Amino acid sequence: MNYPAEPFRIKSVETVSMIPRDERLIKMQEAGYNTFLLNSKDIYIDLLTDSGTNAMSDKQWAGMMMGDEAYAGSENFYHLERTVQELFGFKHIVPTHQGRGAENLLSQLAIKPGQYVAGNMYFTTTRYHQEKNGAVFVDIVRDEAHDAGLNIAFKGDIDLKKLQKLIDEKGAENIAYICLAVTVNLAGGQPVSMANMRAVRELTQAHGIKVFYDATRCVENAYFIKEQEQGFENKSIAEIVHEMFSYADGCTMSGKKDCLVNIGGFLCMNDDEMFSAAKELVVVYEGMPSYGGLAGRDMEAMAIGLLEAMQYEYIEHRVKQVRYLGDKLKAAGVPIVEPVGGHAVFLDARRFCEHLTQDEFPAQSLAASIYVETGVRSMERGIISAGRNNVTGEHHRPKLETVRLTIPRRVYTYAHMDVVADGIIKLYQHKEDIRGLKFIYEPKQLRFFTARFDYI
């Protein structure tokens, strides 16, 4: 495997340090064994998320100095609007403070209580907004996406038979929209093929059902298409991205990922009436339609970052740095979700902690143990993140019980990946020492952010 060198030079550095293990143990106890509740100054390598943790370029920082902070009609908004229209091809854009702001707007605009939203696996905040507005989420991802050890391409594809069955059983008029994520985060960052996007569009168009993408990691998805789907090897990333969105009616976007910024997002659509309604609603929750909760400088950085993300050298290094970590862990026998996705390596906590049942929260405990043993912060993506059924109160029980090692963009080097891999490999050698956890505080909504635990 060819792992390309970083396609950038480092101009500014931030000093980090490793606190002793006994101190890390105390910090983890104080945080209730929830890595979200750790203080960042106590983290050596922070792989909690790639959301807003990117390193911005010199051009982005220069753009920040040209922020037009007008309350309405900011020049930076028009730059962002032109950039998104050119790259994505959508007619309208409404800026939001981050991706979940766009999810909130779309859910309120597109969902009638009792309708269904179908998608290629749930995501936490996305499903919350959908359910809060009265929808029932239906998972229509291909079955293979739930098999951690199965190494096949495009595990994020929608199962067209599942989609057709839902239409037949519930009626097209009762489906608010299809939520198609590119890539599929909780499946391990798995991409969706262009052929599948095209087929989903053809099927939904025949029934008058709209398709909205979760476009958060669309550039990563485009890289996989270029690398693995026949007929796209000679296409540019920008050309692939543009075709991807040609099969959608709109999208939500967290700019904190593939726009290479620390804050920001937007909602896109082609429908004029929906756009008018979105402009009314964004004023209530975010701000004027020309800033949507963002400073002008943030919109400028997002426009520049989106263009930089289209550079092949950047996205090749980004994806292959993640793959480098996954390959090191796999070579040592550490169980991971395969194939390695675009933004993170997902440890398979079911196989890592075979001695723990899902009710003993193996992924949550594994994430806590990784911090104590290595100083690396990661994130649980299993039964805790899945939450409870709103009707029965029972835990959702996902087949995938994982810990996500999420790589920020342009932040860490291959040497950092070596440190992460070596620490987890060493932990795997005495994995039986990892103990199960129980709740001592469980929030009612999105519990994984603030819940607290203790050992059973």
Query: What positions carry a catalytic annotation?
Result: 71, 123-124, 214, 257, 381, 448
In this structure, what token pair is assigned to residue 47? 């792989």
How far is the CA of 173 from the CAs of 126, 213, 383, in angstroms? 21, 19, 32
- Tokens at residue 71, please? 């309350």
- Give the Cα separation of 347 and 349 in Å (integer): 6
Identity of residue 271: D
State the DSSP string of 236-281: -HHHHHHHHHHT-SEEEEETTTTT--SS-EEEEES-HHHHHHHHHH
C-alpha span between 171 and 77 (Å, rounded): 39
For residue 234, give both structure tokens.
Answer: 């000679």
Instruction: Give which of 342, 367, 340 is closest to 352, Cα–Cα.
Output: 367
Return d(Cα 229, Cα 267) in angstroms, integer. Answer: 28
Q: Are 24 and 45 in contact (CB under 8 A)?
A: no
